[in-house]
Amino acid sequence: TKINKAACVGGGVIGGAWAARFLLAGIDVSMYDPHPEATRIVGEVLANAERAYGMLTMAPLPPRGTLSFAKSIEEAVQDADWIQESVPERLELKRGVLTQIDAAASPSALIGSSTSGLMPTDLQRDMKHPERFFVAHPYNPVYLLPLVELVGGQKTSKETIAKAKKLAATIGMEGVVIAKEIEAFVGDRLLEALWREALWLIQDDICDTETLDNVIRYSFGMRWAQMGLFETYRIAGGEAGMRHFLAQFGPCLQWPWTKFTDVVDLDDALVDKIGSQSDAQSGAYGIRELERIRDENLV
């Protein structure tokens, strides 16, 4: 019913932010990341997280957990109840790391992977105890955004997913169970479709990156944040609701939907164009500064 100790394997953008969420919920964290700057990077992410939590007017936080850095995966996962893998998005690398975690972890420990799109069945293939493995896909900043998509593979037990959902709630997370595994799960599939259209709009000079971001953040971004897609459009359907909305707008969307399948060629010229526009938009800020602006807005 409670996480006493968490282990984070991989402490980059996502692993560092997972560590911050656990620590600020009062849970001790053992981190393993071979990067020479791992201590500094995780420390900076934690400082941003503490600053964000300090701005939230909520019940006093429990005393912060203790962060330690381990010299090996085996050492990190000792006695951990929840082990979160957040190493780079490469199947073979993740499989190897997960096999090491699996061999050293306590049999009752839960093992979650932060993967943004790899299938849990592929990730758990070489594990001796694959039933306690699942995808726990978070959204950055993990310490502020509540969602974690919970996805089981063919060998994941139902008990594991149920337990993960309960434990996620103890660290303030909304564990949404995805019924079937599919590449990129639910959130990133939606974002992939948005990305594809955004690339066309930039390539064809319809707008620049700053205009596109403003269109999202001053309009449906705000609506989505409080009601999602379907409830928003139920309201758009007026008193007759969703069926009326679909009857009215469905036929108008048939034609554009058929166009939304072409994939833009992400060649050097387009990468350079997006990179230059993005630099002009916010290149004057350092990454930690941008993270602080984001966190303040989210709070």
Name the residues that contact ligand NAD, by CB under 6 A: 9-15, 32-35, 86-89, 97, 114-116, 137-138, 140
- Three-class secondary structure of residue 134 per DSSP: strand
Cβ closer to ligand NAD: 245 or 291?
A: 291
**CA angle, 215 as apex, 211 and 217 as ends, to 5°?**
115
- Three-class secondary structure of residue 61 per DSSP: coil
Cα–Cα distance for residue pair 261/264, rounded to 1 Å: 10
Cβ closer to ligand NAD: 112 or 245?
A: 112
CB of 222 to ligand NAD, least distance (A): 21
Cβ closer to ligand NAD: 116 or 245?
A: 116
Cβ closer to ligand NAD: 159 or 183?
A: 183
Which residue, judged by CB position, is nearest to ligand NAD in the bound state? 12
Cβ closer to ligand NAD: 37 or 79?
A: 37
- Three-class secondary structure of residue 94 per DSSP: helix
CB of 12 to ligand NAD, least distance (A): 2
Evaluate the CA torsion angle 188, 191, 195, 197 in order and state its sign. Answer: positive
CB of 277 to ligand NAD, least distance (A): 20
CB of 186 to ligand NAD, least distance (A): 13
Nearest-10 crossing angle of helices 209-217, 268-282 = 60
8-state DSSP, 60: P
281: number of Cβ within 10 Å = 16
CB of 37 to ligand NAD, least distance (A): 8
